[in-house]
Amino acid sequence: MIRTIILLIVTLVLVPLAAWYLDSPPTELQWTMIQRSAWGMLGVALTCFTLSTLTGNCSQVDKIWSIVPIGYTWYYAWEANEIHVTCMAALATLWGIRLTYNFSRRRAYTWKFWAGEEDYRWEVLRTNPMFNTKLKWTLFNLFFISLYQNALIWLFTLPAVYAAGAQSQELKALEILFYLVFIAFLIIETIADQQQWNFQTEKHRRIASGEPLGEYAHGFVHTGLWKWVRHPNYASEQAIWIAFFLAGAAAIGNWLNWSAAGCLLLVLLFQGSSDFSENISKNKYSGYADYMKKPADFCLNYSDIL
């Protein structure tokens, strides 16, 4: 946990500074978009903190994770009024609609937006000695859950701001290629989430009806894409925003620029998040440690047993 936090902070500070000196500074229009959207991000972050403090539900950022990037990118498109940013806003919208749907079917939203199901990992973290007092948890909620995560969401949309500096209104072939890569990983992520949904739904149906669990006995999804990659949805999510950054870079033709921090920080966040989730799964499911060693071999051995 401490190592991940240090890496996140170093990346947040050093990457923009390095890119700043290796690239041209933002134009006046880009500065306007950055400043106005940053103020909006701070407002969203403080709202999330207030609601989570009042309700005790710390999944407020989770609820808006797939929604606010749509708002940010369409604001950029409105300010820039050009094809590169509009295309990137459209991509962010496709991503946001899909992820919002996937999140909503897990009972994350109710007519009271601040209510709904909380991510189980927050409750696990509350018992960690680092956060097991009210003051410690409040500070963690303010600075990491609310402010840092909202800043990250905002940062990984900034390649659309960078693309606003393109000199030409024509889309480049390489730019279109990264749009297609974005869509390809969006499809893979959709398949992975659906496979997980199908597995868990059928598992709980069998448990409720008293039927033999069969291939669902281990408790975690290990078929389909999950047979080859432990987290195909996480891997796709990271690839989506790397492709988003590369599309913005391709519009300008500069591959090291100040909009890179968002996707790099997202990769680091997912590394810490997946490690934390897997530690929980190892304690919860007896076969998960074997699955971690090599998913395909685990699935083959398990099918032999069945």
Q: Residues of the chain with pLDDT > 90: what percent?
A: 51
Single out the residue of 132, 158, 127, 138 nearest to residue 23, CA to CA. 158
240 residue type, one letter: I
> Using one digit for the tens of pLDDT, what is the confidence trace for 72-81?
999 999 999 9
pLDDT classification of 244: cutoffs 50, 70, 90: very high
pLDDT classification of 12: cutoffs 50, 70, 90: low
In this structure, how many other beta carbons lie within 10 angstroms of the beta carbon of residue 269? 18
DSSP 141: I
Angle at 229 between CA 250 and CA 201, to 5 degrees: 110
Range of the domain at 215: 2-305
The total of structural domains in the chain comes to 1
Q: Is the pTM of this model over 0.95?
A: no
How many Å apart are CA 234 and CA 177, to the nearest integer? 22
Residue 130, Ramachandran bin (φ over 0: left; ψ between -120 and 50: alpha; else beta): alpha
pLDDT classification of 306: cutoffs 50, 70, 90: very low
Single out the residue of 99, 64, 125 nearest to residue 273, CA to CA. 125
